[in-house]
Each structure stands twice: as C-alpha cells, then as structure tokens.
Structure 1
Amino acid sequence: MAGRRPRRTRIGDAVVALGVTGGLALGGVSGCGRSGTAGGDGDGGTAAGEVAAAVREAADALVDSGSSRARTSMELATGGTRVTIRGEGVYDYRKRIGRLKVLLPQDPSGASAHRSVTELLAPGALFMKNRGAGVPADKWVRVDTGTLSDGNLVTGGATDPFTAAELLRGARSATFVGRTELAGAEVRHYRGTADLREAARVASDGDKGSLGAAARGFATAEVPFDVYLDDEGRIRKVRHRFSFVNGEREQPVAVASTTLLYDFGAPVDVRLPEAGDIYAGPDRGGTTGRSAGE
C-alpha cells in the first residue's frame, strides 16, 4: 500500500505460541442485510456490486448455519524453507467458540516427531494445551489475541474460522471466477483483496480487537483471498495470503492459510478452561499464562 511504512512483526510471535522449530518459528454479527447474491440461478452474480456483497456477507451465512466441522492448513515459507501446520475440529458460529487439534510439523533435524496441540478458540482469546516449552501437560496457556501483532491470524497455526470469514467483510475488490464443485458441493469461486482495517471496523465485537491488531502489525493491510461459497452463501473453502517481516533479519515470510468447512450443523461441545486449569507462569516460548477472567 503506497505510503504505508512496513511494520516489523516477529514470526517468533507466531512461532513461539506453538513451539515450531527451524528458521520459521516453532514455537455479535454486523447486522447487514443479506442480498442473497450467492444463491439463485445462473452465475450467482457477476456484477461487481453483487460479487462484493456475496463475499462480505459470507460470515452472516455461517452464523445462520450454526456450526460446522473444519479442516485447516497453514503454509509458512521464508529463506527457502517451508513448513505446513494442519488442524481439524469443530466450530460454533453463534457462540463464537471452537476446538481444533493442530498437528505441528516434524523438527527439520528429525530430532522430534509430529506433536499435536489442542486449541480452544473464543472471542479475544486462544487457549492451548500440550503447548510444551515448560508448560505442565495438564495446563492450558491463554493468549489474548488482541495483543498479538498478527491478531491470531497466524499465531495458533490456524486461522479462527469465523475470523477468516469476518476478514472478508473488508473485501475492497472481488471478481467472480466461475462455478465448480468442492467435496461434492456446487460452489462459486470468488477472488479478491480484503482490507484488514475495514474488516476490523465492521467486524463483530469479538473480532474487532484481533483484526485491528493485525492491521497495525502486518506490513500491509491488504490481504489477497480466494473463497468458495455454496448456494446458501456459506464458505466451503477460503484461502488467505499474508506477508510480514521475520524478526531482526527482516526476511519476508509468506503465509497461506486455508480453511475448509463442511458438515454444517454438526454438534459442538466446547468448554473453556476454568481459572485453575490455566498456567500462570512464564514458559520458554516467552508467553505468560493468564486466567480465563483476565
């Protein structure tokens, strides 16, 4: 973005939270009206206004659906090194809570095997279990997502499914690519660019802080995306591409975050940790546990 001074953000922030190793880091709804342009006949709306409306309203369609299962994939690349972090779980779009089991990549040296981290997603907070780095196995680490320079779009190794949808509320431009089929569902493919600052301005209260933090922390507020919507306007797949500076070396880090949503209406039973279950001391990753009430 012209005239915007790049902001330094440490991949370590994202890295530290998960403990991934090797160069990259180991470590309420807006209420806007539904246009219905994602459904109906023909091309699903190819006029610029219809396309933008369909994309921006995708988060509302998820709330209408109630819940779903989700698969996530996050690819990080810098300096010729690439790692992929995968996750799977469920999400309740009305209560804004979810659970993912995130599988960390193997240590590049081969010294350690794949390790899974259980994550609970809630408005303004990320809870992690099996965090490692000095945290007792039976304790959770709580992170205030509004304090993260990436707003937890990257830190957890998976983008919160509803935050990924709310980011699309900031769609500055979008084009209709065409119709296709995804996992047996007819979908419409849209491509465009979202603005983090606009997304933060119109997001629900639970995402204003995290998206605002990302807008301030990333080198650019512009986020390219590809999204696939079904005939009910629900996201079946969304892919965001982020780029930011890697610590003191200022190496650009390319991050591609993909979220697949399916089995809408699936039961979701997620209970957030009690205060006594949250680790309150520093760990070797540099984060400090905080109680659920903080």
Structure 2
Amino acid sequence: MAQLPGAGRATAVGVACLLACTALTACGSDAEPGRKADGSASSSGGDDGAAVRTAFDRTAEADTARMTLRTQTSAAGQSATADGKGVIDLSAGDSTMTISAAGQKIEQRVVDQVVYQKVPERQRAQVPGKKPWVKIDLKKAAAQQNGQGGSRISDPAESAGFAKGITDKDTRKVGTEKIDGVNTTHYRVTVDVDKLSTGAKLKRQVGPTLPMDVWLDDKGRIRRQQVDMTIKATTGQTDSADTPRKAKVHTRIEFSDFGTEVEAQAPPADETADLTDKLSQTRH
C-alpha cells in the first residue's frame, strides 16, 4: 500500500467504505420481537429498538440492492473522502462498485470477503508483477493484525454484529423523512460495544459505544445507515504529543432498487497481486 501513492489511498478508503456494506452481512437477532404477523414493524411504544435490530434481517431478505455510499476520514490534520456507487448481494456481502477517491475512479469488487481493486494503468509499474488488479483478504488481514486471528473493527463479521449491541433504552425515534421519494423513519441508536463478540478489543479502539443512525422504510428495511466513529491506534502509532493516533471516520450508505441483479466475480488470479501482507506491515 505504501508503494502505491494514489491507488493505495483509494484502496484504504475503499476498505473503510466496506464497513458500511458488510454491516448487513450474516447479521440478525435470534428472535424477532416487535414484528407483526405480516413482517412489518410494530408501532407500539417501546418497540423502537426491536424495529432497528430486525431491520438488518429485513434488509438482507431483499437479497440484493443498488447502493451509494460516502466515507470521510480525517487524521493527523489530513482528510480523505470516497464516494461509491454500485450493487450488493445483501446476504453474501459480495458487491461491485466504482469508488471515486483521491481524484480518480477505481473499480472495486468484493467476493467472499476479499476486496479486489483495478489499478490505474499509469500506476501498474508500482504493483508487484505489474498486475492490473490488487487484492486484500479481509479475513486474513484481521487475523494478522490481532496475532491470534480475532476480529476487530475492520472485520466484516464484527460489523455484521452491530444489531447485538442495540438496546431499547439506547434507541430513539428522531422523526420521518423522505429519501429518494421513499417515506422513512429515522432512528438514532447507541451500539453497546461490550455486547459485541469482541467487545473488549473493540472498546480499546472506539470506546464503550458507537453512535449510529438508520432510516427504515415501511417494510422495515434500511434505506440509509450512518456511522460516526473515532478509531484509536492500538500498537505503536502516536502523534507528536506521544499519545495514540486517532482517526475520525464518517460513513453513510443508502440502498435502493431492491432485487437488482448482482454479478460479482474475482478477476483472474494471474492478473492479481495480493497486498494483504503489505497492508498488515503498514499497520504495525
């Protein structure tokens, strides 16, 4: 990544974008309180938390969707913004999209939790073997970064578990809004990090809670999801005051056209350079 000045920045931001996409993958609650027999959200008092928790399942049941997203990251006086547009398989997490970042457009595919990005032709000389594609295996990267194979905030499985940390007392209805002409209900929730499967590790990076906003349509599906977090470096990265570096990340994703066609395929192996190990090295 460090050897790819332009594409590296786009890749890093693209992986951050992936957090929002993967929040729907394989998630859901064990039960479905607060649902009517027809699957719609109950409107009785005290059911706001249940409506948000079950929204992840309701959205995944749509199978596929068109998506747009924006991720803004700032750290050490610098900032980066990425805008993405594409389609996603809401059950498997596979996706195809075009990401605009660092003044360029990058084609990205996600297949089986592996991110593939096409390198601009003028930068391919910096890629091992001058390959046109690079890839990052998110599961392998998460294991390398933790040493013991445990997940962290960049692990899609952990992002998918957000619903487990949403409680009734930390959920409130903000109001109603239209998104692309669709009526939605806006909820603000606080995710209790301790309730997540790797809460102890995540807590050291993001603190005890994560704020999240979701907008649900009348079928209980997520139309917009917004997460703001401050991530603290865990190993060896400090600023000039010898305190751990922090990065602020704002991510917003919107879904539409549920049921749209999705065809996400990995590029040929002989045209792909694996940067997973390099990514891990730059984070230590």
With the length of structure 2 as denominator, give the TM-score of the two structures: 0.70
How many residue pairs are counted as aligned between the two chains? Answer: 245
Which residue does the alignment assign to 2:96? 99
One-letter amino acid of the counterpart of residue 223, structure 1? L
Pairwise CA distance, 1:65: 0.7
One-letter amino acid of the counterpart of residue 118, structure 2? K
Which residues in structure 2 correspond to 1:131-146 (within 5 Å)?
Answer: 132=123, 134-135=126-127, 136-145=130-139, 146=142
Which residues in structure 2 correspond to 1:207-222 (within 5 Å)?
Answer: 215=202, 218-222=205-209
Q: Does the aligned pair in 2 maintain the 1:68–1:92 contact within 8 Å?
A: yes
Distance 1:269 1:286, change over 3 A: same
- In the alignment, structure 2 segments of 5+ residues that lack a partner are 16-25, 147-151
Which residue does the alignment assign to 1:8? none
Q: What CA distance in whole angstroms lies between the structure 2 residues aligned with 1:168 and 1:17?
A: 35
Task: Map Cα deviations across residues 160-191 of structure 1 (whole Å, 9 max, x no partner).
Answer: 7x976642342142111112211111111110
Higher helix share: 2
Pairwise CA distance, 1:63: 1.7
Q: What CA distance in whole angstroms lies between the structure 2 residues aligned with 1:186 and 1:18?
A: 38
Task: Map Cα deviations across residues 197-236 of structure 1 (whole Å, 9 max, x no partner).
Answer: 534x3xxxxxxxxx77972662425210111011111111
1:73 aligns with 2:70: yes
Distance 1:165 1:258, change over 3 A: farther
Match of 1:244 among 231, 250, 275: 231
Which residue does the alignment assign to 2:118? 129
Q: What CA distance in whole angstroms lies between the structure 2 residues aligned with 1:164 and 1:281?
A: 22
Q: What CA distance in whole angstroms lies between the structure 1 residues aligned with 2:30 and 2:279?
A: 41
Q: What CA distance in whole angstroms lies between the structure 2 residues aligned with 1:282 and 1:29?
A: 25
1:256 aligns with 2:253: no
Distance 1:62 1:252, change over 3 A: same
Distance 1:26 1:272, change over 3 A: closer
Q: Identity of paired residues, percent?
A: 19
Distance 1:227 1:30, change over 3 A: closer
Q: What CA distance in whole angstroms lies between the structure 2 residues aligned with 1:116 and 1:229?
A: 30
What root-mean-square deviation, in Å, do the aligned CA atoms of Structure 1 and Structure 2 show?
3.8
Which residue does the alignment assign to 1:152? 154
One-letter amino acid of the counterpart of residue 83, structure 2? R
1:267 aligns with 2:265: no
Match of 1:167 among 162, 165, 174: 162
Match of 1:86 among 83, 87, 92: 83
Which residue does the alignment assign to 2:23? none
Which residue does the alignment assign to 2:180? 183
Q: Does the aligned pair in 2 maintain the 1:16–1:285 contact within 8 Å?
A: no
